[in-house]
Amino acid sequence: MSVASLAEEAKQKKPAKPIATIQTLRGFKDIVPADQDPWRLVRSTAEHFAEAYGFGEITLPVLEETALFNRSIGKQTDIVEKEMFTFADQSEGSISLRPEATASVVRAYINHGMLNLPQPVKLYYWGPMFRRERPQAGRLRQFNQFGLEVLGDSNPVLDAELINLTYNFFRQLGLSAINIQVNSIGCQDCRKQYRDELVAYYKPKRRLLCEDCKRRLVKNPLRLLDCKQPSCRALRAEAPQIVDWLDEGCKSHFMKVIEYLDGLDVPYVLNPFLVRGLDYYTKTVFEIWHGDQEGGAQSALGGGGRYDGLVEMLGGRATPALGCSIGIERVILVLKEQQVVIKPSYVPQVFIAQIGDQGKIKAMILFEKLRQAGIAAAQNFAKDSLKSQLESANKFGVSHVLILGQKEVLDGTILVRDMENGVQEIIDYNKALPEIRKKLAQRQIAETPLVEKSS
Ligand code: HAM
């Protein structure tokens, strides 16, 4: 083929169509390395709290039979009605990505015969939940929860302990403006009477309600109380309050919880309209808000309460229980908003720079030695130029750079550069560990502020 015809063929070839990139689904997010520090902080704090308060970790599947959520969260709730990711599986029937984990914890409690363990059984979990909600800041379709569940004991001190734990967890993270909302929605019996009362109150005002609330009036009247529409809010102000309908048992349980919270100095707000969005609750319910919210449901950092009927509803022996979950993405948003300082998990003290193949090998061996000795080192072995390696060292903010150039390799030495004053020193490669330790210790002493003795 001639050069001319080759050129003609190339001219006629259509330009290659750019390949479309694929994005994450709406409401689903990647968490890239640069964003991981707050995640690590929240997770390690959560684990520390859970273990300190005697909770054991449980890891649960993300897929469950849809019936588990229908029966527990309730068919008439927003979550089950419109937010679940549900699929027909070839052999398992209808399955769903878990929208929350309390139902799974209860299933596991029954399946593993935990009813026979000393009670209460305290379990905690961490992991992704899935709800097909309209995505916005703090509201995702895949989000993560840290959850705590206590099964097998009806003592109100447990309700107070759980609220206290949650409150201290947020304090430990350094968050301010934490606002705990508490209410009691009683047991099935007192709630039935209250529900009738509520319907009687709202029925004559039906035309003033939003479309959703008109449906709620028939299907799930308690949910009328947490509608965010201004017209429904206005009506709520005069609505009957559940606390007035609590029977003696539920009332005294609630009084005890309040008494313990007062004794512990945990600040809380009694919110007679707090009802929560899941059907399994009984007696104490609570939410942790950031600020005084009311504006958007996204400011609830967590929520929970008692669910004394759930174990039985899912086929187990009647067992009182309670729990709560915290939304990690929302906590991280607030950490950022409040500019809470988060220490990175790995802070290199030294940088190892190298030149040439032999330099690279010695540098890699040295890196491993330092790592084993607990000295945090950084490196960029793929770079050949010393200049760009020193730039990296600067970015890491290390106190010393250890240079292994051709001369050092031949001499069996390392050139150590103090990044603060630029002073360079040669040390023996074989004595690198004690020498570097000494230098880091000297630097630490120099940087420790002198504390003035009070007379
Ligand atoms: P929940 O109130 O549905 O309760 O969720 C708890 C927390 O999860 C919320 O306060 C919020 O921080 C976070 N969350 C919920 N939905 C989203 C979303 N779409 N995007 C981001 N974060 C979200 C439960 O899930 C119950 N299982 C709590 C519980 C445990 N009750 C007893 N034990």
Residue with tokens 């001319």: 4
Render pLDDT for 357-388 as a digit per residue (tens, 0 to 9): 999 999 999 999 999 999 999 999 999 999 99
Output the residue whose Cα is nearest ligand 1's atom 12.
327
Is the distance from the beta carbon of residue 102 to the nearest atom of ligand 1 less than 6 Å? Answer: yes
Decide if pLDDT at 8 tops 80: no
Render pLDDT for 170-201 as a digit per residue (tens, 0 to 9): 999 999 989 999 999 999 999 999 999 999 99
Q: What is the mean pLDDT of residues 104-119?
A: 98
Q: What is the pLDDT of residue 261?
A: 98
Ligand 1 centroid from CA 301, angstroms: 8
Output the residue whose Cα is nearest ligand 1's atom 17.
139
Q: What is the mean pLDDT of residues 228-240?
A: 91
Burial status of residue 320 (CB atoms within 10 A of its CB: 0-12, 13-18, 19 or more):
buried
H or E element: which one contains 95?
strand 93-97
Share of the chain above pLDDT 90, in %: 85
Judge contact between 159 and 306, C-beta under 8 A: yes
Render pLDDT for 411-430 as a digit per residue (tens, 0 to 9): 999 999 999 999 999 999 99
Output the residue whose Cα is nearest ligand 1's atom 8.
327
Ligand 1 centroid from CA 302, angstroms: 6
The string of DSSP letters for 105-166 reads HHHHHHHTTGGGSSSSEEEEEEEEEE-----BTTB-SEEEEEEEEEES---HHHHHHHHHHH
Q: What is the pLDDT of residue 450?
A: 63
With the most atoms of ligand 1 within 8 angstroms of its CB, the residue from 58, 123, 131, 143 to mutate is 143
Is the distance from the beta carbon of residue 99 to the nearest atom of ligand 1 less than 6 Å? Answer: no
**Average pLDDT over the chain, rounded to an integer:** 93
Decide if pLDDT at 453 tops 50: no
Q: What is the pLDDT of residue 11?
A: 67
Render pLDDT for 304-355 as a digit per residue (tens, 0 to 9): 999 999 999 999 999 999 999 999 999 999 999 999 999 898 999 999 999 9
pLDDT-derived band at 32 (thresholds 50, 70, 90) equals very high
Render pLDDT for 153-174 as a digit per residue (tens, 0 to 9): 999 999 999 999 999 999 999 9
Render pLDDT for 268-318 as a digit per residue (tens, 0 to 9): 999 999 999 899 999 999 999 998 766 454 579 999 999 999 999 999 999
Q: What is the pLDDT of residue 228?
A: 84
Output the residue whose Cα is nearest ligand 1's atom 14.
327
Its pTM surpasses 0.85: yes
Is the distance from the beta carbon of residue 131 to the nearest atom of ligand 1 less than 6 Å? Answer: yes
What is the crossing angle of helices 211-219 and 188-202, to 10°?
140
Is the distance from the beta carbon of residue 73 to the nearest atom of ligand 1 less than 6 Å? Answer: no
Residue with tokens 């040439």: 356
Output the residue whose Cα is nearest ligand 1's atom 11.
327
Is the distance from the beta carbon of residue 140 to the nearest atom of ligand 1 less than 6 Å? Answer: yes
